[in-house]
């Protein structure tokens, strides 16, 4: 017995490209797609006429810092008058500014703020949202951030993937290696033991951690069976992409300064390249990730919003995908697979979300659009007509 059958739809499964499947109906049972074109006589609890609409997988935003307190408007304005992101963090602002505000916020406040920040993403069809910690830089707040992230799942009716980013930046005045010891020996085990995360991230940059810190953290995280992610080559190329790939990282994110050796390492390891055009543009960066080399080496490319108060405060995954096309020269197919199939792979090597096929989670949206490319043409006006997460209307 199907819980739901939707017929009269055009199914863009995002498995290979943007073409529509020959089938025109979806059968859902227990939150999964269990049939395409189920027999018309098959019993069902609910039936919906899709009205000829387009169905796409629910979007996957695979890199966000959506739970934080405060904003960084003053710093943005100061940057417009010439101050640099680096100078701000060196003066104790930047990420530290958000850390101060976040440490003061209660769990309830962080949940409310996370909802506020993420609602626009959900409204444009995101059904899976990765959320990093990293604005606590001490155990209690890091754990509170992950707890708040997890709490968003039932509220937003979405899949939340919480990632531990205790190694965001070393706290001011602290020796990076000493702080990293605390991250590895205290914060990370506490977050794993309490079921708050199964994934680890680190920011490697001149203003953050070095590649030697990545090695130490990844060795420990791997022994704890964590999925590995790294912010690499965003502002400075320190060789961290190669190291992360060699550790078997699921994703390397940013890559604005990456070169041919980095691309080769990603290709060897099957690591997903996560591009974050919103942050690159917001910081006024002129260098662009090596998209053509990534494409030629068949590295899977994902796009994410990077939603955060410092470098990407604008909550739109569709606009990020549009920017990837306009500024990073992705094709429309690459951009849309980058927020579906490949974004799912940036979170899980064998995801049961991000594409539409039998056996996949029933996360999908119905769109009143003639073609999927319309999502990149005018993203600001695009809202799904109906949205389903695990087979439930939301
Ligand atoms: O992905 N680069 C490091 N982390 C974030 C920015 C965090 C912030 O500025 O608050 C990023 O761009
Ligand atoms: Fe980030």
What confidence score (pLDDT) does residue 158 get?
Answer: 98
Whole-angstrom distance, CA of residue 277 vs CA of residue 326:
10
User: DSSP letter at 184?
Assistant: I
User: What atom of ligand 1 comes closest to residue 63's alpha carbon?
Assistant: 1
What confidence score (pLDDT) does residue 95 get?
Answer: 98
Instruction: Indicate if the pLDDT at residue 381 is higher than 90.
Output: no
Q: Give residue 355 CA to ligand 1 midpoint distance, Å.
A: 29
Assess whether the C-beta atom of 132 lies below 6 angstroms from ligand 1: no
Tell me what the mean pLDDT of segment 278-294 comes to.
97
Q: Give residue 65 CA to ligand 2 midpoint distance, Å.
A: 6
Q: pLDDT band for position 260 (50/70/90)?
A: very high
Over the chain, what is the mean pLDDT?
Answer: 98
Whole-angstrom distance, CA of residue 279 vs CA of residue 287:
12
DSSP labels, 196-244: S-SEEEEEBSTTSB-HHHHHHHHHHHHHTT-EEEEEESSSS--SHHHHH
Whole-angstrom distance, CA of residue 90 vs CA of residue 75:
13
Instruction: Indicate if the pLDDT at residue 85 is higher than 90.
Output: yes
| Residue 362 tokens, joined | 């029933």
> Which domains can be identified in the chain, with CATH numbers?
4-57+354-393 (2.30.40.10), 59-345 (3.20.20.140)
Could you report the per-residue pLDDT of 187-205, keeping only the tens digit for each? 999 999 999 999 999 999 9
- Residue whose Cα lies nearest atom 3 of ligand 1: it is 203
Tell me what the mean pLDDT of segment 311-327 comes to.
98
Whole-angstrom distance, CA of residue 351 vs CA of residue 342:
10
Asked if 230 contacts 265 with a C-beta cutoff of 8 angstroms, the reply is no
Instruction: Return the closest-CA partner of residue 105 out of 148, 64, 137.
Output: 148
Instruction: Return the closest-CA partner of residue 102 out of 153, 180, 165.
Output: 165
What confidence score (pLDDT) does residue 277 get?
Answer: 98
Assess whether the C-beta atom of 197 lies below 6 angstroms from ligand 1: no
Assess whether the C-beta atom of 134 lies below 6 angstroms from ligand 1: no
Whole-angstrom distance, CA of residue 201 vs CA of residue 227:
9
Whole-angstrom distance, CA of residue 163 vs CA of residue 390:
22
Asked if 5 contacts 25 with a C-beta cutoff of 8 angstroms, the reply is yes
Q: In what order do the strands lie in the sheet with 32-36?
A: 32-36, 25-29, 4-7, 47-49
User: DSSP letter at 361?
Assistant: B
User: What atom of ligand 1 comes closest to residue 310's alpha carbon?
Assistant: 9
Could you report the per-residue pLDDT of 12-65, keeping only the tens digit for each? 999 999 999 999 999 999 999 999 999 999 999 999 999 999 999 999 999 999
Q: pLDDT band for position 214 (50/70/90)?
A: very high
Q: What predicted TM-score, i.e. pTM, was given to this entire model?
A: 0.98
User: What atom of ligand 1 comes closest to residue 169's alpha carbon?
Assistant: 3
Q: Which ligand is nearest to the CA of 89?
A: 1
Which of 61, 308, 314 for a ligand 1 pocket mutation test, highest count of atoms within 8 Å of Cβ? 308
């Amino acid at each position: 017995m199907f819980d739901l059958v939707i017929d009269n739809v055009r199914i863009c499964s995002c498995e290979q490209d943007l073409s529509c499947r020959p089938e025109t109906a979806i059968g859902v049972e227990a939150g999964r797609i269990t049939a395409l074109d189920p027999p018309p006589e098959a019993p069902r609890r609910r039936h919906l006429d899709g009205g000829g609409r387009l169905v796409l997988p629910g979007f996957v935003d695979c890199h966000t810092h959506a739970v934080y307190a405060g904003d960084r408007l003053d710093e943005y304005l100061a940057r417009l008058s010439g101050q640099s992101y680096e100078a701000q963090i060196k003066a104790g602002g930047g990420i530290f500014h958000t850390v101060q505000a976040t440490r003061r916020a209660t769990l309830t406040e962080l949940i409310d703020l996370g909802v506020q920040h993420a609602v626009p993403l959900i409204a444009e069809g995101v059904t899976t949202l990765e959320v990093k910690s990293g604005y606590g830089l001490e155990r209690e707040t890091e754990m509170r951030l992950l707890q708040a992230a997890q709490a968003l799942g039932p509220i937003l009716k979405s899949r939340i993937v919480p990632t531990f980013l205790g190694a965001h930046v070393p706290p001011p005045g602290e020796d990076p290696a000493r702080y990293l010891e605390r991250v590895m020996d205290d914060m990370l085990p506490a977050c794993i033991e309490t079921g708050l995360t199964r994934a680890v991230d680190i920011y490697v940059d001149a203003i953050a951690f070095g590649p030697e810190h990545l090695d130490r953290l990844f060795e420990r995280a791997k022994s704890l069976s964590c999925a590995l992610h790294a912010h690499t080559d965003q502002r400075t190329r320190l060789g961290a992409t190669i190291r992360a790939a060699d550790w078997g990282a699921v994703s390397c994110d940013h890559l604005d300064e990456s070169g041919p050796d980095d691309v080769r390492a990603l290709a060897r390891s099957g690591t997903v390249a996560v591009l974050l055009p919103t942050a690159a543009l917001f910081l006024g960066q002129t260098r662009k990730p090596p998209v053509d080399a990534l494409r030629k080496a068949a590295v899977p490319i994902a796009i994410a919003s990077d939603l955060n108060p410092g470098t990407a405060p604008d909550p739109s995954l569709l606009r990020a995908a549009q920017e990837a096309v306009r500024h990073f020269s992705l094709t429309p197919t690459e951009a849309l697979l980058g927020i579906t199939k490949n974004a799912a792979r940036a979170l899980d090597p064998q995801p049961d979300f991000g594409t539409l096929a039998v056996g996949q989670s029933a996360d999908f949206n119905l769109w009143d659009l003639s073609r999927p490319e319309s999502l990149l043409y005018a993203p600001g006006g695009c809202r799904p007509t109906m949205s389903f997460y695990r087979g439930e209307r939301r």
